[in-house]
Structure 1
Amino acid sequence: MLVAGLSLASCTPADSGAESSGGDDTRPAVVATSTLIADWAAEVGGDHIALTGILQPGADPHVYEPVPADSIAFEQADLILYNGYNLEPNLIRLLNAAGVNAQRAAIGEVVPPLDLETGTSTVPDPHVWGDVSNAVPMVEAIRDQLIELAPDQEALFTQNAAAYIAELNQLDAWIEAQTATIPPDQRQLVTTHDAFQYYASAYGLSVIGTLIGLSTEEQPSARTVQELVTSIQTLGVPAIFAETTINPQLITTVASEAGVPLAPTQLYSDSIGAPGSDGDTYLKMMAANTRAIVENLGGTVSETEF
């Protein structure tokens, strides 16, 4: 692929949330809020866009607090790509409050959402990328936004998107085949927060409980913890999972009280992994999650190139 080897490390410097693309760069300035969208934009745009990723790998978009560099990035952007469905609430507030004239697109909102119950209300679940087939229309939306921004690069963006979508389709089929090896009575998923509804729905699992809900700002009550422990014991869940963006202390306590193993590999939920990790791209993070889920729930994983 034309964009092979492009590293997101160049898009998200270690010392701040955003990086300026530089005043002498004539390429379109594209800003992506989440690491996932930055990864997709890099695949489609390659070296023909000046890409800035706001969040660092491993950062939690639910609770991220913008820094001054983020306002500058928004103000200097030609195009801003964000997830939407209130995944990154503080960044969306900043985007709406700042003097931003850029083209903007809520990439996640091209996918019809599943609903989540939050207390007494129902809200769209923003974790749409958990179903890999949903990433296809999101990549197509990025392609279309880039073509609108730089129509002279339409052929390149179209070619890059088509090649990447072929990989997404291959990954989607591979995940479906792996999860099918889990014994039917063990296809039960318990994670730290409500980020895996789309994954479970697409690949034949049930989310039987989470420690906290949609927002990672929540603190579970003692009653919530005890109810989750009881559900795990009653249903005979073989293992439960921590997530890379959330402190594992509480879910470790749940595992101990329920008497079940905590999977040794944490799941990637709201962010790709750090450069060099087994989840440092969207393709790799979804494959890594699948390996961890399948192996810890009693299935068998076949080799994959992801």
Structure 2
Amino acid sequence: MKVIPQTEVRTFRQTKAQKLKAIVTFTFCLFLLSCTQANPNRNTPKADGKPLVVATSTIIADLAQDVGKDEIKLTGILKPGTDPHVYEPRPEDSRFLEEANLILYNGYNLEPGLIKIMKATGGKARQVAVGEVVKPLQLDKGKGEIVPDPHVWGNAENAGAMVNAIRDALIELSPEDKEKFTQNATQLSKELQQLDSWIKQEIATIPPEKRKLVTTHDAFQYYGRGYGIAIAGTLIGISTEEQPSAQTVQRLVESVKKIGVPAIFAETTINPALITTVAQEAGVKLAPRQLYSDSIGAAGSEGDSYIKMMEANTRTIVEALGGKYTPFQPQK
């Protein structure tokens, strides 16, 4: 049997140890890399140089895209036509929230399912309740329970305040893009001011006795108070989680008969069956076009942005209630 000199044994052991050390080090590096990819630093921009911004509602996503444009990578969780009140989060939603550098959400409990998992993810992203920059209307849910109305975007002036909040959050996230964010927000705010004035003019064409709005759920208080049209009745309250009883439906039928409105309105995010029944039993017309309430429309629709949604709603209301509609033509 060949005898191996001790110097060769030591060299072999050292070489083996060095190889083992190299393997362990390489494996550990791979582990760290995989952890980094799965759970990146929330405050560090992505490899493409753009911070990852996550928005919950379609309305906030639309406004954020107009302010951030090409300087951000935006992910909107809710899709057009989705009801945020009853949305049940999916597993990938948690991943989006965990990986975000900034989370923009409405607040005032508009999107309770998403708010719950957002607070539970433990991510380091700044969370900004964009809608809560607006002082809310306080509504009675019944049995003495007073809650803030989350549908703050119903008034275009409030949307301007939301745009400013988005701008400030993006500037804090990416200070080097401050000038671009500011310019984009200024242009959008200018158009929102024009939209606000236009809506007031449009509603004013409706005969005063017909300026009454009956809808499926109580999502138009800010619109009504901002533009001089009374919310005369709703089938359910501010949350679509509510299930109206037969007695509730009948009470609304009787109310519609008394107030004498020429039409009532369905909404894009809610099944129109019950409000259709109300219209039939009350003997009034159901407006041929539905209102956008909690979501913008699908791409290519007449309401596929916040501004177009507000224009479409105003047209629907004005035409159904006897006013004279004139298209919105913003001045650049």
Taking structure 2 as the reference length, the TM-score comes to 0.85
Matches within 5 A, 1:63-78: 63-78=86-101
Aligned to 1:14: none
Query: Which residue is equivalent to 2:209?
Result: 185
Q: 1 CA distance for matches of 2:173 and 2:148?
A: 29
Deviation at 1:116, TM superposition (A): 1.2
Distance 1:38 1:304 in 2: 22
Aligned equivalent of 2:254: 230
2:71 to 34, 48, 51: 48
User: What SS does the corresponding residue of 2:236 show, helix, strand or coil?
Assistant: coil
Indicate whether 1:104 and 2:142 are aligned: no
Q: Structure 1: where are the runs of 5+ without partners? A: 1-21
Are 1:37 and 1:82, in contact at CA under 8 Å, matched by a contact in 2?
A: yes
Identity %: 65
Task: Please list the CA deviations of residues 39-86 of structure 1 after superposition, one character each: whole Å capped at 9, or x if unmatched.
Answer: 000000001001000000010000011011110011100000000000
- 2:59 maps to which residue? 36
Runs of 4+ in 1 over 6 A off after TM superposition: none
- Residue 98 (structure 1) shift: 1.1
One-letter amino acid matched to 2:160: V
**Are positions 1:164 and 2:188 aligned together?**
yes
In the aligned structure 1, how far is the partner of 2:244 from the partner of 2:253? 13
Alpha-carbon distance, 1:26 to partner:
2.3
Q: Which residue of 1 aligns with 2:137?
A: 114
Count of residue pairs brought into register by the alignment: 285
**Distance in 1 (alpha carbons) for counterparts of 2:241 and 2:185:** 35
Q: Secondary structure at the match of 1:211?
A: strand
* Correspondence for 2:305 among 281, 286, 302: 281
Structure 2 partner of 1:213: 237
1:5 corresponds in structure 2 to none
SS at match of 2:104: strand
Question: Once the two structures are superposed, what CA deviation does each residue of 1:251-301 show, in whole Å capped at 9, x if it has no partner?
Answer: 000000000000000000000000000000000000000000011011001
Q: Is the 8 Å Cα contact of residues 46 and 52 (structure 2) preserved in structure 1?
A: no
State the Cα distance separating 1:245 from its structure 2 match: 0.2
Per-residue deviation at 1:303?
Answer: 2.3
Distance in 2 of aligned mates of 1:255 and 1:145? 44
Give the stretch that moved more between structures: 145-154 or 25-34. Answer: 25-34
Shift of 1:25: 2.9
Residue identity matched to 2:112: P
The answer to whether the Cα contact below 8 Å between 1:25 and 1:50 also exists between their aligned partners in 2 is: no
Please say if 1:26 is aligned against 2:26. Answer: no
Deviation at 1:104, TM superposition (A): 1.0
Give 1 or 2 for the bigger CA radius of gyration.
2
Rounded Cα–Cα distance in structure 1 between residues aligned with 2:290 and 2:182: 35
AA in 2 matched with 1:53: G
Amino acid at match of 2:228: G
SS at match of 2:217: coil
Partner SS for 2:135: coil
What's the CA shift for 1:23? 5.9
State the one-letter code of the partner of 1:141.
A
**RMSD over aligned Cα, in angstroms?**
1.1
Distance 2:301 2:69 in 1: 21
Per the alignment, in what secondary structure is the counterpart of residue 254 of structure 1?
helix
Of stretches 96-105 and 58-67 in structure 1, the one that deviates more from structure 2 is 96-105
Contact 2:108 2:131 in 1 (8 A): yes
In 2, distance between residues paired with 1:214 and 1:200? 14
State which of 322, 329, 332 in structure 2 corresponds to 1:298. Answer: 322
Residues 23/142 of structure 1: CA separation in 2 closer, same or farther (3 Å cut): closer
User: For the residues of structure 1 that align with 2:327 and 2:89, how far apart are their CA atoms?
Assistant: 40
Q: Distance in 2 between matches of 1:25 and 1:63?
A: 35
Equivalent AA in structure 1 for residue 328 of structure 2:
T
Partner of 1:194: 218
By how many angstroms is 1:24 displaced?
3.6
Distance 1:40 1:219 in 2: 31
* AA of the residue aligned to 2:165: A
Give the partner amino acid of 1:159: Q
2:167 matched to 1:143? yes
Structure 2: tracts of 5 or more residues without a match: 1-44
Aligned to 2:291: 267
Q: Is the 8 A contact 1:232 1:258 kept in 2?
A: yes
Q: Name the TM-score, length of structure 1 as normaliser.
A: 0.92
* Inter-partner Cα distance in structure 2 for 1:238 and 1:38: 35
In 2, the alpha carbon distance for the partners of 1:294 and 1:38 equals 27
CA distance in 1, matches of 2:48, 2:266: 41
SS in 2 for 1:189: strand
Tell me the equivalent position of 2:117.
94
Q: Please give the alpha-carbon distance, in whole angstroms, between the structure 1 residues aligned to 2:122 and 2:136.
A: 29
